[in-house]
Amino acid sequence: MNVRTLIGSLCLAALMSSGTAASAADAPALLGQMDESLNRWKDQYFEYEMRDTQPGKGDRTLALNVYMKAEKRVTEFTAPADAKGTRVLILSDTQMYVYLPAYKKVRRVASHVTAQGFMGTAYSQDDLAVTTYADKYDAKVLEESETTAKLELTAKPGKQVAYPKIHVVMEKERALPLEFTYFDDKGTKLKTESRSDYKCDGPICVPYVMKMEDHTTPGHATSLTTKKWKVDSDLEDRIFTRRYIQKGR
């Protein structure tokens, strides 16, 4: 057994023995556990296939690489030709930049457009930027079973968030999210995101299949399938800069 696997086994055993993972009575604790399970890594690298389906437009397939370190993220499109070379740098929930090859310039993304579809997909840049929830949302339990809990998250006073209310279905044993349903301030359901086919490297688990359905445009959905994943590979800080997204490697 390698060190990462051993640590993961000990963490899981401690979580189960404490009883907190099996009980949904304490919603804030469950949400905190989910945040912790989503952020055990130091850095990550993904290669994705993205497939977008829209009524009347057919399917569009894109390829992209994603670099992540702390709350920073770089997304780089490698296909098709009209998207290749487009790069997006996220430094925080509110600080985002995009490089468009046609203009050869890095531009800051205005906050009022981060909720719009990213590259025409069902995912917005806000959807891709959020990595923690307990700092932004209060939680209460809606439903629970032996294996899952459904939480309702409502934005904390003064917090600027893309979605005032979110429903989260999570697996209790590993504190991993299985489904998010996003609502506006009037309670209208906007999107549903599913996360499945989790694979783990010791205590670090990621979904290999994600899908976002946009309920504001019936029939519009975007899926992300992981083709390659690396974790804690000591990604260089220079990747997460405006200079990098303009120049590349």
Question: Looking at residue 241, which CATH number applies to its domain?
Answer: 2.50.20.10
Radius of gyration of the chain (CA): 18
Percent of the chain as helix, strand, coil, to the nearest 5 = 20, 45, 35
By mean pLDDT, which of 23-32, 47-56, 220-229 is the weakest? 23-32
Q: How confident is the model at residue 217 (pLDDT cuts 50, 70, 90)?
A: very high
DSSP states of 85-134? T-EEEESSSS-EEEEETTTTEEEEPPGGGTTSBGGGSS-BHHHHH----T
By mean pLDDT, which of 72-86, 108-122, 130-144, 157-171 is the weakest? 108-122
Predicted confidence (pLDDT) at residue 124 exceeds the cutoff of 70: yes
Q: Kind and range of the H or E element at 29?
A: helix 27-38
Among the listed residues 219, 218, 216, the one whose alpha carbon sits nearest the alpha carbon of residue 184 = 216
Residue 92 is predicted with a pLDDT of 83
Q: How confident is the model at residue 21 (pLDDT cuts 50, 70, 90)?
A: very low
Tokens 């055993």 map to which residue?
13
Between residues 92 and 78, which one has the greater pLDDT?
78
**Contacts (Cβ under 8 Å, ≥6 apart) of 10:** none
Identify how many contiguous H helices and E strands the chain contains and give both numbers: 4, 13
Number of residues in the chain: 249
Q: How confident is the model at residue 126 (pLDDT cuts 50, 70, 90)?
A: confident
Query: Percent of the chain at pLDDT above 70?
Result: 87
Residue 110 is predicted with a pLDDT of 74
Among the listed residues 190, 186, 228, the one whose alpha carbon sits nearest the alpha carbon of residue 206 = 228
Among the listed residues 238, 212, 187, the one whose alpha carbon sits nearest the alpha carbon of residue 54 = 212
Mean pLDDT (whole number) for 54-78:
93
Evaluate whether 113 touches 105 at the Cβ level (below 8 Å): no
Phi, psi of 233, deg, nearest 5: -105, 20
Phi, psi of 43, deg, nearest 5: -155, 160
Residue 111 is predicted with a pLDDT of 62
Residue 24 is predicted with a pLDDT of 44
Predicted confidence (pLDDT) at residue 7 exceeds the cutoff of 70: no
Number of domains in the chain: 1
pLDDT tens sequence across 171-193: 999 999 999 999 999 999 999 99
**Domain limits at 175?**
3-247
Between residues 78 and 125, which one has the greater pLDDT?
78
When the pLDDT of each residue in the chain is averaged and rounded to a whole number, the result is: 88
Single pTM value for the model: 0.85
For residue 205, give both structure tokens: 């688990």
Residue 118 is predicted with a pLDDT of 78
pLDDT tens sequence across 102-121: 988 999 987 655 566 778 89
Reduce the DSSP state of residue 112 to 3 states and report it: helix
